[in-house]
Amino acid sequence: MLTLADIDHAAVAALLARYGLALARVADGEPIPGSYWGDSEAGLIGSTVYARGDTPLHSLLHEAAHLIVLPDERRAAVHTDATDSVEEEDAVCVLQCLLGDALPGVGRERVYADMDAWGYTFRLGSARAYVESDADSAWQWLHDRGLADAAARSLRLP
């Protein structure tokens, strides 16, 4: 599984900055502030994503996507848990895959594989199948909020 230590930290910070977010690197072995799952999983507080070197990249992207989809007034109040609906969670799963395309040497295919290895479950059996064939409502949720088109432009996606 790809971790923050495996990729260019500056590229991740720059990607998050495009959306008004900050990346806070946590020292190895220290607890990650705002982590919903604990262990090495990324955390959220306000507009900051917290991660250690051993944080899986898919986790960092997932938590960042939660902040990206929130309006500023809700983002400021986030601590640990950002989701308020299944629809939002589904949209975040799509967006985290798209964000992988914006990082050199990562790409959505790697994010799909790591999500599957981590244990995300989808009706069609894989993250890729979900995003490409079963996420119409998630794509619509992103589109309705101006995020699908903005993500495509920002990330230069088809």
Band of pLDDT at residue 71, cut at 50, 70 and 90: confident
| This prediction's pTM | 0.90
Band of pLDDT at residue 150, cut at 50, 70 and 90: low
Mean of the pLDDT values across residues 43-61? 97
pLDDT at 49: 98
Residue among 15, 60, 53 at smallest CA distance from 37 = 60
Q: Hey, where are the domains in the chain?
A: 4-75, 86-155
- Per-residue buried b or exposed e for 41-65, using 16+ beta carbons within 10 Å of the residue's own CB: bbbbeebbbbbbebbbbbbbbbbbb
